[in-house]
Amino acid sequence: MTLVKETPPVAPPADAAPARRRRPAVLRWTALRLVALAVLLAAWQAIVAAGVWPRVLVPSPAEVWSAFVEASTVHDGVRGYSGYLLGEHLAVSLRRIGIGTGYAALTGIPLGLLIGVVKPVAVVLEPAVTFLRTLPPLAYLSLLVIWFGIDESPKIWLLVVAALPPIAAATAAAVRGVPGDLVEAARTLGSGPVTLLLSVRLPAALPEILTGVRIGLGVAYTSVVAAETVNGVPGIGGMIRDAQRYNQTDVVIAGIIAIGLSGILLDALFRGLERVTVPWRGRR
């Protein structure tokens, strides 16, 4: 008996250990992130309190919060900001991002497949894709406005042009990187070129293609403010542009935070979607 008593508390049985340990780890990391956020907010508040820069340039966290609340509610008969709630601005922008990325994927994936498989197509179109990828969206916005006016279409076009190159490039690289041994195995089973492309190369490349679409989505995200510089209301970019015109720094910052947070959320959703749709990622 004494022997048992002297033994320190034993670790839980081996099979229970991983499940028990994972929880606190998740909590620990979440706690760390919250602490980091608190430190950031405290530093921000301290800088504002020290009065290094005028309030107009650097508003306090509380002012940004109230701008956020004002933009999200109907107050004194005014609806949000510029006549739309923050959520409505964001929803319109997200819709543009979604449509733009969708068109970009619909055209970019077949284009990438062609570039990856047909050498002459690659020779002609690959430099074009790279050229397009290096252009900042603001550079071709003017052209799109001249061509398509100031309504919805130039905004969608800009997001398509922004999101297409990374999707096409990722698809081309993915389809070239398909393991040759799988293609060979499919050939010995009697596959023709069309089957090889659609039933072997495409699914083998799909995990990386989806990563390309996620990157394209990110590029569309970063380009949406540029897309909405002309006649962008409603839209989160338009909202930020309007606030800039009236030196409402708190609204600008609230808008930036709204874009960033929704971006994180969407990226996480897309990663989850990838896990569900391509469970074979990284498997042989």
Partner 1 sequence: MSPAEPDIRLRDVTVRYGPPRNPVTAVADASLTVRPGEFVVLVGPSGCGKTTLLRLVAGLEQPAAGTVEVRRATGVVFQTPRLFPWRTVGGNLSFALARNGVARAERPARVAELLSLVGLPGMAGRRTWELSGGQQQRVAIARALATEPQILLMDEPFAALDAFTRERLQEEVRTLAASTGTTVLFVTHSAEEAVLLGSRVLVMAAGPGRIVDEMTVPLPRAAATDTAALRGDPRFAALRAELAAVTRAATAA
Q: List residues binding partner 1 (CB under 8 A).
A: 181-182, 184-191, 195, 199-200, 203-204, 206, 278-280, 283-284
251: part of which helix (H) or strand (E)? helix 249-277
Strands (E), the chain: 74-75, 78-79
Minimum CB separation of residue 198 from partner 1 in Å reads 12
Minimum CB separation of residue 181 from partner 1 in Å reads 5
With contact defined as beta carbons under 8 Å apart, do 96 and 155 qualify? yes
- Closer residue to partner 1 in complex, CB, 199/222: 199
Contacts (Cβ under 8 Å, ≥6 apart) of 36: none
With contact defined as beta carbons under 8 Å apart, do 229 and 79 qualify? no
Q: Is 81 helix (H, G, I), strand (E, B) or coil?
A: strand
- Closer residue to partner 1 in complex, CB, 85/278: 278
Minimum CB separation of residue 209 from partner 1 in Å reads 12
- Closer residue to partner 1 in complex, CB, 120/282: 282
Minimum CB separation of residue 281 from partner 1 in Å reads 9
Minimum CB separation of residue 199 from partner 1 in Å reads 7
- Closer residue to partner 1 in complex, CB, 156/206: 206
**What letter would DSSP give residue 163?**
H
Write the Ramachandran bin of 281: left for phi over 0, alpha for psi from -120 to 50, otherwise beta.
Answer: beta
- Closer residue to partner 1 in complex, CB, 133/187: 187
Minimum CB separation of residue 174 from partner 1 in Å reads 13
- Closer residue to partner 1 in complex, CB, 122/182: 182
With contact defined as beta carbons under 8 Å apart, do 243 and 252 qualify? yes
Q: In angstroms, rounded to a whole number, what is the distance separating the alpha carbons of residues 74 and 53?
A: 31
Cα–Cα distances in Å, from 256 out to 87, 89, 143, 183, 184? 13, 12, 26, 46, 50
Radius of gyration in angstroms for the set of CA atoms belonging to the chain, rounded to a whole number? 25
